[in-house]
Each structure stands twice: as structure tokens, then as C-alpha cells.
Amino acid sequence: MPDIKSVRQDMNIFQRAWHRIQEFLRETVGELRKVSWPTRQEAINLTRIVIIVIAIMSIILGGLDWIYARFFGLILGR
């Protein structure tokens, strides 16, 4: 039985590329089978948390932007 290295050397560039793509896809499917996917309710709750955090951060950053704009407007006389 020939070793993998000698078999790969016999392949042309397209065969080697196709072989690598197939190997990548096999490994990807294997890894995805190991993933612990959240339930629908967990995904909904996590999405809500993300939206709330984004809203809070946008309010904070918007407020800071407004404060700095007013502050520098006073300093520069605009």
C-alpha cells in the first residue's frame, strides 16, 4: 500500500486542490457534529440580551458624542 505522500505527489495540482477541499469539508462536518447547539428559547433569550446591550451602548455613546460636541462647541465658539 503506497503512503499518502507518494500518492499526493502523483496527483496534479487540481486533484490535490480537490482532495484538500474534500478533506476540509469532511473535517468541518465532523466538527459541526460536536457542537452543542442552543435551543430555540436559549437563542431567543441571547438575541434579546444582545439587542438590549446594543441599545444601551448606543445611548451611552450617543450621549457622550452629544456632550463632547457641546463641550467643544463652547470651547471653539460655535
pLDDT along the chain (78 residues), means of 10: 61 89 95 93 98 98 97 89
Q: What is the pTM of this model?
A: 0.57
Distance CA 57, CA 70 (A): 20
pLDDT at 6 (0 to 100):
60
Number of residues that make up the chain: 78
- The residue with cell 496534479 is 12
Residue percentage of the chain with pLDDT more than 70? 87
If phi > 0 it is left, if psi is from -120 to 50 it is alpha, else beta; for residue 77 that is left
Contact 66, 59 (CB under 8 A): no
Per-residue pLDDT of 8-20, as tens digits, reads: 667 788 889 999 9
Contact 38, 46 (CB under 8 A): yes
Q: H or E segment at 70?
A: helix 40-76
